[in-house]
Amino acid sequence: MSRAVQTRLQDCLRELRLPTFRENCHSKAALAEKEGISFAHYLLELCEMEVADRRQRRIDRKKSASKLPPGKTLSAFDRSRLPTNVDRQLSSLVEGDFLDRRENVLFFGPPGSGKTHLMCAVGHELVLKDQSVYFTSCAALVQRLLRAKQELTLEKEFKRLDRFQALLVDDLGYVQQSREEMEVLFTLLSHRYEHRSLLMTSNLAFSHWERIFKDPMTTVAAIDRLVHHSVILELNLPSYRMEEAKKKQEEGDQE
């Protein structure tokens, strides 16, 4: 390949935004020539490299946009603690089909049972499947929505959140909310209902949700919208932290 052709090709590939193609086309051309690889195969290999790199870059971007805690992955989660039925639910969730069905996922259990870690692990798996997800604490989300409401940009904020196939909301009901805070949360639930998936963790069983939504009618309406198309995971497990601490102590005692 002459130098002039090389330069022109580099320029074209830069303009077409094909960085992997640009980086590899000359070395691969030399190799193809040496090994007698056909033009079609040469082209196909470069295209496949570009597609794979582009996908990886997209996934990296989605991972950083997700705000997921980096360490809370599925590989860092000890699945042997999970009851068989929850483990089976988990296997199905990480496939991600529930997003197409706009289903919600609710994680219940006492503090330390692994709700947040498990929800994040599902989030990480979804990102690896090229889905857009966003993790936030319920308290931070409510503050963000409240601010948007005051600035008359709530609809815009909902649209921004619509870009994420899955919105992961941690610790619903952990902080006592004012009526106004509860209202924006309820509006969000209604907005996403049958439209986009929500994943939520809560220490509070449904029977206590009146504490969150203040009046019985809103509580029933909120539960109804969340549960209508949903998967519910019950982690009736002892605290992981406590068990780990106990194990350490026992190991110490044996020494």
> Is 116 one of the binding residues for Mg ion (CB under 5 A)?
yes
CA atoms within 13 A on the CB side of 128: 11
137: CB partners within 8 A, 6+ apart: 169, 170, 171
| Angle, CA of 227, 73 and 164, to the nearest 5° | 50
Taking each helix axis from N to C end, the angle separating 179-192 and 138-150, rounded to the nearest 10 degrees, works out to 90
> Quick one: 171 or 181, whose CB is closer to ligand ADP?
171
Residue closest to Mg ion when measured from CB atoms: 116
Q: What is the dihedral of CA 173, 141, 155, 227, to 10 degrees?
A: -40
- Alpha-carbon distance of 107 to 235, in angstroms, equals 7
Q: Which does 104 bind (CB under 5 to 8 A by kind): Mg ion, ligand ADP, none?
A: none
- Alpha-carbon distance of 128 to 26, in angstroms, equals 31
**What is the closest distance, in whole angstroms, from the C-beta atom of residue 112 to ligand ADP in the complex?**
5
**What is the closest distance, in whole angstroms, from the C-beta atom of residue 237 to Mg ion in the complex?**
13
120: CB partners within 8 A, 6+ apart: 68, 69, 72, 73, 135, 168
**What is the closest distance, in whole angstroms, from the C-beta atom of residue 241 to ligand ADP in the complex?**
5
- Alpha-carbon distance of 222 to 216, in angstroms, equals 10
Residue closest to ligand ADP when measured from CB atoms: 114
> Is 113 one of the binding residues for Mg ion (CB under 5 A)?
no
Q: Which does 158 bind (CB under 5 to 8 A by kind): Mg ion, ligand ADP, none?
A: none
**What is the closest distance, in whole angstroms, from the C-beta atom of residue 85 to ligand ADP in the complex?**
15
**What is the closest distance, in whole angstroms, from the C-beta atom of residue 181 to Mg ion in the complex?**
19
Helices H, strands E: what count in the chain? 12, 5
User: What is the contact surface with ligand ADP in residues (CB under 6 A)?
Assistant: 72, 77-78, 81, 109, 111-117, 201, 240-241
Q: Among the candidate windows 48-56, 113-121, 142-150, 224-232, which touches Mg ion by CB under 5 A?
A: 113-121
> Quick one: 51 or 242, whose CB is closer to ligand ADP?
242
Q: Which does 117 bind (CB under 5 to 8 A by kind): ligand ADP, Mg ion, none?
A: ligand ADP
> Quick one: 20 or 116, whose CB is closer to Mg ion?
116
User: Which residue type sits at 92?
Assistant: S
Chain contacts with Mg ion (rule: CB under 5 A)? 116
